[in-house]
C-alpha cells in the first residue's frame, strides 16, 4: 500500500500542487481511450464514472459503474450551521452545492472486488501533465477521486488508473456512449479548455467538494 500523502490536507481541503505530485510519485497511469477499452475487454479492468448520478444516467461509457465522488447538498442532508450557510449562499448564486459522498470509498471497494483494476473517469478528465498554462496539470474530479482512494489506502496505486480526456475524450475518439451526449458539460468546465491565465495562487488550494459546473 502507498504511504499516505505528506502534502497539506486540512479537513476536506487539498493543496492541488501536493495532490498532483502525490499522484505522479505513485506512478498513476493515465490511459488514452483505446488502451482503456482494451483493458476492459481483457477482463482485467472496470471503468468507474465518478460524476454525480444524474449525469451518469444521462450518458456514460457502456458497462461503466457509477460511484459518485460527491453528492448534492439538499435540505435532507444539511449538517450543521456551516452547511446551511453554504447551501443558502450557493443556491442564491444559482449553483448546486455538493459535499463528499460518504459511501464513495465503500462503493470503490465493491467495484474493485479482489483483483480488478479500476479506471476512473469524469467529464473532461483533467491531466497530470504540466504545461506552460497549467504547470500543475489540470484539476479534475477523477484525479481527486484517485487521490482519495490511494491516500485512504482503499486500493494500491497499481490498481487505480485514470481515463485521459474523460467521457468527453472517449466520445471525441469516436467510441460508443450510452445515452444522449453532446459534450456540452465538458464545455462548462475549465479543465476542457485552454487558459492563458495559468494556475495562480488563488487556484493552489481547492476544497474536495466542488460546484456542479466543475469536473
Angle formed at CA 72 by CA 71 and CA 78, multiple of 5 degrees? 105
Closest Cα partner for 137 from 118, 160, 162? 162
CA dist 35 → 29, 32, 39 (Å): 11, 6, 6
Mean pLDDT of 63-76: 87
Is 60 exceeded by the pLDDT of residue 193? Answer: no
pLDDT tens digits for range 131-147: 999 999 999 999 999 99
CB 20 within 8 A of CB 128: yes
Q: Give the pLDDT score at 23.
A: 95
Given this model, what pLDDT does residue 187 score? 56
pLDDT band for 188, please (50, 70, 90 cuts): low
What predicted TM-score, i.e. pTM, was given to this entire model? 0.79
Handedness of CA 145, 72, 90, 83 (dihedral sign): negative
Mean pLDDT over all residues of the chain? 81
52-74 average pLDDT score: 93
Residues contacting 214, CB < 8 A, separation 6+: 139, 141, 189, 190
Say how far apart CA 205 and CA 165 lie, in whole Å.
23
Full set of structural domains in the chain with CATH: 9-71+98-207 (3.40.250.10)
Angle of helix 104-112 relative to helix 141-151, nearest 10 degrees, comes to 80
Are residues 60 and 178 in contact, defined by beta-carbon separation less than 8 angstroms? yes
Number of alpha helices (DSSP H) and beta strands (DSSP E) in the chain: 7, 12
Q: What is the pLDDT of residue 14?
A: 64
How remote is the C-alpha of 1 from its chain's centroid?
21
Given a contact cutoff of 8 angstroms between Cβ atoms, the answer to whether 122 and 140 are in contact is: yes
Contact between 133 and 127 (Cβ < 8 Å)? no
Helix, strand or coil for residue 21? Answer: helix
| Mean pLDDT, residues 3-13 | 44
Amino acid at each position: 500500500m502507498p504511504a499516505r500523502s505528506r502534502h497539506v490536507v486540512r479537513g476536506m481541503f487539498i493543496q492541488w500542487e501536493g495532490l498532483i505530485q502525490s499522484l505522479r510519485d505513485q506512478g498513476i497511469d493515465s490511459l488514452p481511450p483505446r488502451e482503456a477499452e482494451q483493458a476492459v475487454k481483457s477482463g482485467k479492468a472496470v471503468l468507474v464514472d465518478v460524476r454525480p448520478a444524474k449525469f451518469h444516467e444521462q450518458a456514460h461509457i457502456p458497462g461503466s459503474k457509477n460511484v459518485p465522488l460527491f453528492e448534492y447538498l439538499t435540505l435532507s442532508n444539511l449538517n450543521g450551521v456551516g452547511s446551511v450557510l453554504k447551501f443558502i449562499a450557493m443556491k442564491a448564486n444559482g449553483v448546486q452545492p455538493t459535499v463528499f459522498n460518504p459511501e464513495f470509498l465503500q462503493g470503490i471497494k465493491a467495484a474493485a472486488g479482489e483483483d480488478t483494476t479500476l479506471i476512473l473517469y469524469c467529464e473532461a478528465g483533467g491531466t497530470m501533465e504540466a504545461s506552460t498554462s497549467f504547470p500543475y496539470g489540470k484539476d479534475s474530479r477523477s484525479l481527486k477521486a484517485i487521490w482519495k482512494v490511494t491516500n485512504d489506502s482503499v486500493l494500491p496505486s497499481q490498481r487505480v488508473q485514470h481515463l485521459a480526456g474523460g467521457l468527453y475524450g472517449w466520445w471525441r475518439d469516436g467510441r460508443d456512449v450510452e445515452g444522449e451526449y453532446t459534450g456540452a458539460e465538458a464545455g462548462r468546465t475549465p479543465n476542457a479548455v485552454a487558459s492563458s491565465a495559468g494556475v495562480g495562487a488563488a487556484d493552489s488550494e481547492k476544497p474536495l467538494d466542488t460546484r456542479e459546473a466543475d469536473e
